[in-house]
């Protein structure tokens, strides 16, 4: 059988999410991360105008409702720590969606349940009987996670004191279908039927279900929607609401928001939406028609008897293209013609490559289809293990004992393991006859191994690591940690694979320091163990072995861009932008270097073209194209029937690893939503709420009628620099290929680039040099959003905060939200143009104050 995708059940997804932090991402934590001694709200990276709790973990916004002059923001909250766990509802209120006041915990977890995401309504007609018509109850509808069974059901609680205290209903749950993937109810009053309407997610099935009730207690199922659009991850936090198209109240469409994790347009978490019609029972999405990729020249379609001029190595791809699914593989779909490259020969256990001959880059894009495993290429990795680094061996786990290492718990036993332990998959890649292996009694045990102190007197610490991928700092980590002064400064995990591979930490900046190593297994779930061997202080950096399943473009022998499958047997379009490599020699290499789950790759239809092909995910509609906008939901019962939306400003790929303390995560700026006609279709647009202007301090610093050619220079001088800014700009296109702003620029080349690609007609944010990007391999990168110039002009509204940027392009049809973690001294703002000129028609920069003032 083909590899089986494990359902990311329960909102314990946080553990699965931080597990995607790269095993080899071992950069030090930011030097400013430890801020426990700072007064509250003055810590490094603390947002000024984005809501954050004073301390502890926060994720999804919940219970968004307006009542008696207050906007209520409830949210997923851990009252007991700065990582995911003990899920409860935190609470804040605002009179203007900008100035927030944190209130005491609203709904608490207990021994029986955790309180997951949901919504709140004002029961004005007292249909529940929980209040009176003169004092109607506020009713919270939430997902209750049964701590003993993992079952998710819908429950209610009520408040008669404006949401300050809640009482859980004794008849809970009000809907229980016996599922572990049934969550996040959004409830509203549906006037045509004088009843309550619930929109709730069947997460693993990629479906949304609709229910109706007269009293919020007794519910009747109406219909289901899905699967549709992007389905690469679980569907969560749905929202359904009507909107007037282009402000015409006679032309109403319904918008269904479905948040997805992973599988968002930027690769991790994302907020997808559908536009369509709702008839009181059923939602029907508008038909967007079929997709035809750009025409071009086919360079490899695998329709011949063999691979032609392409060179295979290893056994994974066999001797000829595959004509369909191979033995043990699930149904394969999405390939063109009769054949394609498929590395599932002998299942996931084989590895190999398939490489094209060199070719001159003379087209803008390389389009192709790809499917199979999602194991991205990582810079600095090699396909085969190199020599053992020489130096001071800190531990080799030979000799039958742990020596002077301290052992706690049961996971590591009393002595090193001789290799594979009972019921464990074969462990490979270790040296000698022993290793640290925490699979004692399976994944059920926990414990630590801690080294004696040693002096860092060489440039690198190299070691072999395998096993579970659960990041340091998460509630259930499986990690190797380097401690200096008792604090974790480097960490690494396994890659959900029993094969050990080299990892390496650059410790030149810690020369002369006393340090300790700690091997941690705090996890009792899947892949809740760790394998470690041969830890050495060396002046040579060990080269980690790649575990990728990827299609790579090689220029000058180096991988310059890459794509993977989506843990699916369906092939979908991907595209490489080859414009930066025009005139150079390149190769295409299809790599399968993975033997774990989804350790195979499929590829087909390599075509050069003048425009990029778009995948199903790229063709879906997104409320935001950034990495850090998730669980987006809207307020009910707002004045003037305006639709305001807010999202969790984080991503499950690295949520538990971002370098903030004593709080973790922020909410996005609330946004005013509209449905506008863009390119002939109704699309959801957003702009920051108008009340944000109340935080502007003094007059704007301005610039106008400035032509910028092949350079980068200050936007408006020192008055335009800062950490909390509201920037409005208008550019007129000339011949520059790319132009825009660089914010939070500073020493060491720090910058966050907010640009427009004129030929691709894309807005982009590049945070690869934005500051601390090393805590996760999923963090650095470039996010892109389609955006057409209007009358030759590009308008941008940019919100810059201590640890984020939010970019609104055009009329708000393209939005990118990204976290950044720059040095506090990086405050510069520059305007730039590349490969030509652009005219900056106008720029205004306001400094923003704190929402707590």
- Name the phi and psi angles at 653, rounded to 5: -65, -30
**588, β-bridge pairs:** 553
* Nearby residues of 556 by Cβ (< 8 Å), 6 or more positions away: 584, 585
Give Cα separations from 208 to 216, 236, 769, 833 (angstroms): 19, 9, 39, 45
Which H/E stretch holds residue 200?
strand 195-202
| 782-786 and 88-94 beta bridge pairing | unpaired
The whole-number pLDDT of residue 37 equals 62
Q: Which of 843, 749, 751 is nearest to 805 (CA)?
A: 751
Structure tokens at 57: 């973990």
Structure tokens at 399: 């000799």
The whole-number pLDDT of residue 39 equals 86
The whole-number pLDDT of residue 381 equals 87
Q: What is the dihedral of CA 720, 722, 727, 729, to 10 degrees?
A: 40
Structure tokens at 353: 């490559």
Other C-beta atoms lying within 10 Å of the C-beta of residue 230:
25
| pLDDT tens-digit readout, 533-578 | 999 999 999 988 888 999 999 999 999 999 999 999 999 999 999 9
Cis, peptide link before residue 227, omega less than 30° from 0: yes
Do the Cβ atoms of 503 and 462 come closer than 8 Å? Answer: yes
**506, β-bridge pairs:** 460
Q: Which residues of the chain have pLDDT under 70?
A: 1-37
Which H/E stretch holds residue 535?
strand 530-538
Give yes or no: 60 in active site.
Answer: yes
d(C-alpha 562, C-alpha 344), whole Å = 20
The whole-number pLDDT of residue 211 equals 98
Which H/E stretch holds residue 17?
helix 13-18
**322, β-bridge pairs:** 340
d(C-alpha 166, C-alpha 171), whole Å = 15
Active-site pick, 60, 181, 592, 604 = 60
Q: Which of 10, 11, 64 is nearest to 187 (CA)?
A: 64
d(C-alpha 562, C-alpha 590), whole Å = 10
DSSP state of 150: -
């Amino acid at each position: 059988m083909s590899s089986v995708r494990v359902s990311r059940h329960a909102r314990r997804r946080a553990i699965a999410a931080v597990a995607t932090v790269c095993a080899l991402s071992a950069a030090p934590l930011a030097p400013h991360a430890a801020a426990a001694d700072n007064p509250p709200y003055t810590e490094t990276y603390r947002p000024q105008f984005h809501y954050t709790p004073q301390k502890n973990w926060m994720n999804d916004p919940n219970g968004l409702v307006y009542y008696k002059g207050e906007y209520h923001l409830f949210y997923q909250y851990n009252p007991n720590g700065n990582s995911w766990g003990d899920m409860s509802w935190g609470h804040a209120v605002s009179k203007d969606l900008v100035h927030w006041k944190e209130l005491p915990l609203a709904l608490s977890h207990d021994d029986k349940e955790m309180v997951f995401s949901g919504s709140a309504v004002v029961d004005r007609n007292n249909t529940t009987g929980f209040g009176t018509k003169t004092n109607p109850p506020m009713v919270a509808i939430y997902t209750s996670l049964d701590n003993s069974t993992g079952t998710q059901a819908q429950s209610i609680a009520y408040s008669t004191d404006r949401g300050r205290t809640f009482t859980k209903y004794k008849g809970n749950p009000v809907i229980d279908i016996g599922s572990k993937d049934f969550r996040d109810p959004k409830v509203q009053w549906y006037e045509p039927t004088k009843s309550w309407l619930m929109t709730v997610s069947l997460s693993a099935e990629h479906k949304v279900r609709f229910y109706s009730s007269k009293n919020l207690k007794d519910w009747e199922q109406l219909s289901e929607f899905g699967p549709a659009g992007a389905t690469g991850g679980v569907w969560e936090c749905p929202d359904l609401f009507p909107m007037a198209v282009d402000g015409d109240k006679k032309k109403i469409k319904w918008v269904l928001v479905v948040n997805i994790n992973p599988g968002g347009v930027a690769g991790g978490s994302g907020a997808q939406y559908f536009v369509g019609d709702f008839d009181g029972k059923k939602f029907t999405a508008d038909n967007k028609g079929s997709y035809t990729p750009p025409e071009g020249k086919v360079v490899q379609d695998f329709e011949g008897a063999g691979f032609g001029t392409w060179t295979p190595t290893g056994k994974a791809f066999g001797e000829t293209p595959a004509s369909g699914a191979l033995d043990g593989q699930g149904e394969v779909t999405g390939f063109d013609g009769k054949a394609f490259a498929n590395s599932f020969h002998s299942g996931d256990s084989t590895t190999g490559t398939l490489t094209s001959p060199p070719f001159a880059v003379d087209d803008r894009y390389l389009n192709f289809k790809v499917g199979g495993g999602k194991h991205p290429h990582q810079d600095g990795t090699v396909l085969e293990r190199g020599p053992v680094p020489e130096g001071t061996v800190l531990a080799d786990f030979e000799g039958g004992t742990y020596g002077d290492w301290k052992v706690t718990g049961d996971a590591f036993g009393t002595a090193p393991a001789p290799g594979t332990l009972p019921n464990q998959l074969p462990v490979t890649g270790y040296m000698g006859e022993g290793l640290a292996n925490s699979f004692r009694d399976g994944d059920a045990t926990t414990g630590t191994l801690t080294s004696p102190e040693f002096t860092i007197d060489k440039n690198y610490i190299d070691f072999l690591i395998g096993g579970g991928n659960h990041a340091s700092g998460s509630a259930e980590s499986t990690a190797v940690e380097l401690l200096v002064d008792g604090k974790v400064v480097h960490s690494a995990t396994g890659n959900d694979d029993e094969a050990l591979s080299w990892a390496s930490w650059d410790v030149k900046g810690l020369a002369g320091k006393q340090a300790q190593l700690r091997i941690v297994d705090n996890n009792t779930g899947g892949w809740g163990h760790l394998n470690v061997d041969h830890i050495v202080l060396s002046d040579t950096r060990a080269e980690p072995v790649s575990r990728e399943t990827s299609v790579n473009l090689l220029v000058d022998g180096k991988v310059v861009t890459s794509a993977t499958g989506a843990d699916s047997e369906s092939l979908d379009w991907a595209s490489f932008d080859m414009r930066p490599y025009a005139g150079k020699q390149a190769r295409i290499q299809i790599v399968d270097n993975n033997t774990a789950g989804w350790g195979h790759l499929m590829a087909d239809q390599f075509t050069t073209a003048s425009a990029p092909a778009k995948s199903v995910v790229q063709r879906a509609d997104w409320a935001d194209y950034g990495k850090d906008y998730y669980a987006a939901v809207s307020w009910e019962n707002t004045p003037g029937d305006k639709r305001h939306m807010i999202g969790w400003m984080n991503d499950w790929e690295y949520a538990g690893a971002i370098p903030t303390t004593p709080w973790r995560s922020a909410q996005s700026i609330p946004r005013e939503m509209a449905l506008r006609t863009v390119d002939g279709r109704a699309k959801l647009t957003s702009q920051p709420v108008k009340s944000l202007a109340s935080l502007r301090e003094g007059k704007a610093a301005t610039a106008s009628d400035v032509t910028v050619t092949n350079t980068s220079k200050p936007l408006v001088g020192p008055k335009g620099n800062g950490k909390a800014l509201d920037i409005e700009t208008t550019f007129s296109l000339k011949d520059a290929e790319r132009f825009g702003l660089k914010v939070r620029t500073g020493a060491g080349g720090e910058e966050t680039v907010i640009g427009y690609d004129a030929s691709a007609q894309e807005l982009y944010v590049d945070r690869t040099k934005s500051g601390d990007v090393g805590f996760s391999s999923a963090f650095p990168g470039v996010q892109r959003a389609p955006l057409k110039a209007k009358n030759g002009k590009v308008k941008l509204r940019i919100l810059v905060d201590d640890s984020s940027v939010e970019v609104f392009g055009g009329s708000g049809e393209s939005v990118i939200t990204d976290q950044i973690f720059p040095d506090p001294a990086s405050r510069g703002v520059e305007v730039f143009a590349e490969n030509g000129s652009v005219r900056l028609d106008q720029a205004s920069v306001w400094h923003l104050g704190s929402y707590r003032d």
